[in-house]
Structure 1
């Protein structure tokens, strides 16, 4: 059997040579002077070789101990090299779960991986919903221990309060657990199928008729306890036919008052395409008034009253309509339907209407060939709409001419 002195004294030769110990254990002395522990064994008639480290980092006693452990495995019919590899993989997996395996850690990685392609408003909404309804239940839990039943129960609780949020949360959870699978933390996705939630109510946003729009505008003008910026935001939603979030999240850098136009960047648009909005005289007048109300250093047209670095709260305009008694009759988003219904009813150009609404053309072939932006026509239509809105605000009856009328863009 070997001694430590023998191993230390062994000098390298031109070719590698062995210093045998016992039971298949030996030191392989390399020409470069390194001394490597090896264990030669047979398992089921097949010869194998196991590396046990290098001398002197692995001492003679250490090598004999590792050799003895491997011989025990051989006696049980277990391949020692494979057993050591599985042990390393198990330790690595345990470390991965310790560092990256909590729901909160996986969720954070998933947010980073998926957030770049989302609109800022979408990211804010997603973070808010996760922090409110998922993090309190699961943040510090190992993701591998979370069951389908737990997820279903959590989603059902949210659904009782906010069905749309529950659907959003289920989509987030699916992405989070898929990310965990891709990261090697779990093998299967426990998120319940869509069927565990009630089917979405596909009703469209309620929209005010022209008559109700007139009543709403007069009531909006008459009440003097409304924050003026909120009033202006509501009027701009009506005048521009833009989505609520596009108006409330607008920045002064997007507005050109001299050219009477507003360019909404692609990242703030639902379809991911920049949207050009011609501003009517009435809209420009409102923005000039707003400019005098909002401090120059503010980025947003409608800064949040509690935090000027954020835009107006998402539900402010809905709350305004509810306050004025129109919650069951219309929504801010429904103002777009009022605009569209009016101009479709009087036979205006569908293409111009759809461009004003920033809708993606349904006919892809036609859209590919028709590159006309209808800018002049859109400006004319939105100015006509603003004139119509003025008539409604004053209480004058709206007159919808026949489609053949030359003034078919008027109220």
Structure 2
């Protein structure tokens, strides 16, 4: 039998008119309707727990009926009998339901990963975004995409990273960095409390080696072999020669667009978003480089954006490993890489005493001495043009098989082979 006789009726509540001040319509056991001056009628439950008075909101009439309010009141009384605060219990219940809904909609690894990509992709170079997406799709998504992120353990992540490390150590290090960011994003989103990504020590230390670079003698042999084999795709041959002639990074050449090239002015402006240091890079084009680009323009359809469109998908640039594969095919895989051509260029001009500033500007390197760089605003454009033209002449000598000579430079920016 209910110890609290119920005295209110629905008719009484409906009939209650607002007054200048709020007033109560009591039911029983601390349950009452608070009639506000604006006419709203709010269910309230006044209780005591451990000698402390409390007040619980149970909704508004008529959305919450008299029967609904009495049921909620009865449930709260049961909680109080157990020493549980009904307001706190109701708040925790709402939070639990919200958390369940969050996990249902946003809680999978794939969903968190997509949100993280969106949040972090704007500040990255397009090439970096493509590489990141490719590595995640290949090595993380198959394992974790549909898994609740809260259920993924450190052991599972370590095992996945170790499997990749056995095949591609650098990719494994990249994946660990991605995972750290993804799980930190999940923490910020309220999905998990701790980051289970293993520490860096679970992976072997990076064996930091410089890209192998061809000596001038080997560069000459490589160029002569490149010229001699007529089965090489001509656009690939031109791309490799431009890597050599411009001292630019492989990705800067293979991802170049025609809109960046001014053949009349013999110059190329690589935009900041495609540069490693995030700064635009001006490249003076030697006569030999201009001649190659004129030949390339005749080979590539006018509608193509890229200098070296991908043969399978012209809307994308040449595949990343095409030039590496070419060097391997010609038998120089252990001796040098496309990126190593920059070291060959730098070694040659440093050996003959050319200006270090001009060399570093040609390589688009960030100055090591920031104070000096802050005061020295000279762009060395004329000197860079001289140097790259001298380099192109040297490359011609190497291609023809003429003996390589390294005389003392007549100036700090100009030198021959």
Shorter chain as denominator, the TM-score bin is over 0.9
The two structures have a TM-score, normalised by structure 2, of 0.97
Q: Give the superposed CA RMSD.
A: 1.0
Match of 1:91, SS state, is helix
The two structures have a TM-score, normalised by structure 1, of 0.99
Give the match for residue 82 of structure 2: 76
Shift in CA distance, 22/124, structure 1 to aligned 2, threshold 3 Å = same
Give the match for residue 358 of structure 2: 352
Separation in structure 1 between the aligned mates of residue 202 and residue 10 of structure 2, nearest angstrom: 69
Map of 1:1-400 to 2, 5 A cutoff? Answer: 1-400=7-406
Q: How far off its partner does 1:407 sit?
A: 9.2
Separation in structure 2 between the aligned mates of residue 341 and residue 12 of structure 1, nearest angstrom: 91
Separation in structure 2 between the aligned mates of residue 406 and residue 54 of structure 1, nearest angstrom: 86
Separation in structure 1 between the aligned mates of residue 415 and residue 233 of structure 2, nearest angstrom: 33
Give the match for residue 405 of structure 1: 411
**1:243·1:336 contact (CA, 8 Å) conserved in 2?**
yes
Match of 1:26, SS state, is strand
Separation in structure 1 between the aligned mates of residue 15 and residue 222 of structure 2, nearest angstrom: 100
Match of 2:56, SS state, is strand
- How many residues are paired up? 411
Q: How far off its partner does 1:403 sit?
A: 5.0
**1:151·1:191 contact (CA, 8 Å) conserved in 2?**
yes
Match of 1:53, SS state, is strand
Deviations 1:232-273 (A, max 9, x none): 000000000000000000000000000000000000000000
Separation in structure 2 between the aligned mates of residue 259 and residue 235 of structure 1, nearest angstrom: 20
Deviations 1:341-376 (A, max 9, x none): 000000000000000000000001110000000000
Q: How far off its partner does 1:175 sit?
A: 0.5
Q: How far off its partner does 1:181 sit?
A: 0.6
Deviations 1:354-409 (A, max 9, x none): 00000000001110000000000000000000000000000001100135789961
Separation in structure 2 between the aligned mates of residue 11 and residue 389 of structure 1, nearest angstrom: 98
Match of 1:39, SS state, is strand
**1:346·1:408 contact (CA, 8 Å) conserved in 2?**
no
Shift in CA distance, 218/245, structure 1 to aligned 2, threshold 3 Å = same
**1:303·1:310 contact (CA, 8 Å) conserved in 2?**
yes
Match of 2:20, SS state, is coil
Separation in structure 1 between the aligned mates of residue 356 and residue 151 of structure 2, nearest angstrom: 54
**1:402·1:408 contact (CA, 8 Å) conserved in 2?**
no
**1:119·1:268 contact (CA, 8 Å) conserved in 2?**
yes
Separation in structure 2 between the aligned mates of residue 200 and residue 394 of structure 1, nearest angstrom: 40
Mean CA deviation greater in 28-37 or 130-139: 28-37
After TM superposition, which residue ranges in structure 1, 4 or more long, deviate above 6 angstroms? Answer: 404-407
- Structure 1: gaps (5+ residues): none
Q: How far off its partner does 1:19 sit?
A: 1.0
Deviations 1:58-97 (A, max 9, x none): 1111111000000011111111111101111111111111
Q: How far off its partner does 1:9 sit?
A: 1.6
**2:246·2:388 contact (CA, 8 Å) conserved in 1?**
yes
Separation in structure 2 between the aligned mates of residue 9 and residue 379 of structure 1, nearest angstrom: 93
Separation in structure 2 between the aligned mates of residue 256 and residue 408 of structure 1, nearest angstrom: 24
Match of 2:170, SS state, is helix
- Structure 2: gaps (5+ residues): 1-6
**2:354·2:412 contact (CA, 8 Å) conserved in 1?**
no
Separation in structure 1 between the aligned mates of residue 307 and residue 369 of structure 2, nearest angstrom: 35
Match of 1:81, SS state, is helix
Separation in structure 2 between the aligned mates of residue 404 and residue 373 of structure 1, nearest angstrom: 21
Separation in structure 2 between the aligned mates of residue 282 and residue 399 of structure 1, nearest angstrom: 20
Separation in structure 1 between the aligned mates of residue 41 and residue 328 of structure 2, nearest angstrom: 83
Deviations 1:94-117 (A, max 9, x none): 111111110000000000000000
Q: How far off its partner does 1:35 sit?
A: 1.2
